[in-house]
Structure formats: C-alpha cells, structure tokens
Amino acid sequence: MPLVAALKQRGVESFVSPMLNIAVLPDAMLNLDGVQGVLFTSANGVHAFAALTSRRDLAVYAVGDRTASAAEEERFVNVESAGGNVDMLAALVMRSCKPTDGVLLHPAGTAVAGDLSGQLSNAGYVVRRAVIYEARPAAGFSGEIRMALQDREIDLVLFFSPRSAAIFVILARKAELETACENLEALCLSDAVAAAADPIMWRRVMVAPEPTQAALLATLDERLGNR
C-alpha cells in the first residue's frame, strides 16, 4: 500500500483500519462503447472497475494522486491526476478532452459527492455514470485497533474523506473510545473532512493546505519536524 510505504519511509509505523467495505454490485455492468476516457473520483471506483473489465488502454482521469496511484497499481497505462477535488477533475477533463471525441465514463458508488456530471454536461460533454459498487460502513474496529487505541499505541489518525471520518466518530462512540481519542491528533485532507471528525474532542486537528496526499504528507512532515 503506497501510503503505508510513505509513512514507513518517515519512520512512522501504521495500523490500517478501513472505515468502508467495498462491494461490487452483483448486477454491475459496464458499457464501454464510444468511451474516450474514464473518470475516477476514488480509489474504490478504480478497483471496482478493474474487477469488472480487463481493459487498461482507456485514458484515465483521476481526482487526486491517491486515486491515480490506485489506477497505476491496476496497470492502467494512461493516467492523469487532477491533484485535488471534483472541480479540479472537471477542469482537467476540459483541458484534455473534446466533447466531440466520445463519451466520458464515470464508474461510481451508490453515494456520490459533488456534481462532476453536471459540470461536464454543462460544458457539452456526454458523461455516462455507471453505478458499480457500494461502500458499506464498517461495523466496528478490529480487536487490534481497539486495543491499540485503549493502550495509547496510536498518536495520529489520518482521514481522507468526510464519510470515513464520520464513520470513525460513530465507531469510536460505539466502542466507548471517545476518551482515548482525546489523546490523538487528527490529520485531515480538507476542511470538510475535519468538520466530519469534529464531534470528537481531539488533542489537535490538522488540515492539509491542499486536498492531496502530497500536501497531507507535507503537513505530517512539519508535525514530525522533518525537512
């Protein structure tokens, strides 16, 4: 996992605790006819799409670096990252694609944030949204994570989406770990993510200056005193 490797390079040992379980929908189908490019707004969309087709030749436009890395892991050969959010992805597509060159496919989950299709449709593009997976909230922390939180083996929690932060809050309350979280720092990808984590009283909340993994890791470096 690239993020775990990046943390290890910084001397940071990590626990991985997914807040969402991804399930490809049993009746999911892909229509790739006339598609000039694929729009990925999450790594989950990348992996679900890759599970449904062996096509790796289509141009990929990813919302950010984590999503682009997931596409590269799945062996897509032409990947561009917008480096941030849905608005930046729409801008990247408008710079890179012509409306007359074909359909843009957006593989997505049952819940979608932002209005990517609306922005591009208003600019004359044809966007085909394919609902291919469902992101189901985790039922609880693993025993390992629960013990690590209770024993204060964890100092910092990284959050990349409002939904994952909100689920963490729910699970922490369910496990009666809110007091343990008062000793933790939260490092969030954006203000929206920080707002979702806000119901818990953290020792400190940090927000990356830009909604990218690189910016988040740079903020971590500052916190660690790395140059």
End-to-end CA distance of the chain: 24
Q: What's the total number of domains in the chain?
A: 2
Same domain, 131 and 212: no
Same domain, 46 and 107: yes
What pLDDT score was predicted for residue 110?
86
Whose CA is closest to 135, among 105, 167, 169?
Answer: 167
What pLDDT score was predicted for residue 32?
96
The chain-wide mean pLDDT, for the chain, equals 93
Same domain, 79 and 118: yes
Question: Residue 59 belongs to a domain with what CATH number?
Answer: 3.40.50.10090
Q: Residue for token digits 């939904």?
A: 163
pTM above 0.85, yes or no: no
For residue range 63-84, list pLDDT tens digits in order: 988 899 999 999 999 999 998 7
Same domain, 112 and 202: no
Confirm whether 8 is domain-assigned: no
What's the domain range around 147? Answer: 140-224
The C-alpha R_g of the chain, in whole angstroms, comes to 19
Question: Looking at the predicted structure, is the pLDDT value of residue 93 above 90?
Answer: yes
Same domain, 121 and 31: yes
Q: Of the residues 136, 169, 204, which one is the last residue of a structural domain?
A: 136
Cα 115 to Cα 151: distance, rounded to the nearest angstrom: 42
Q: Of the residues 85, 111, 136, which one is the last residue of a structural domain?
A: 136
For residue range 112-166, list pLDDT tens digits in order: 766 899 999 999 999 999 999 998 999 999 999 999 999 999 999 999 989 999 9
Kindly provide the b/e burial profile for residues 190-202, where b requires at least 16 CB atoms within 10 angstroms of the residue's own CB: beebbebbeebeb
Same domain, 129 and 165: no
| Angle at CA of residue 48, ends 129 and 114, nearest 5° | 40
Confirm whether 124 is domain-assigned: yes
What pLDDT score was predicted for residue 198?
95
Same domain, 110 and 200: no
Confirm whether 51 is domain-assigned: yes
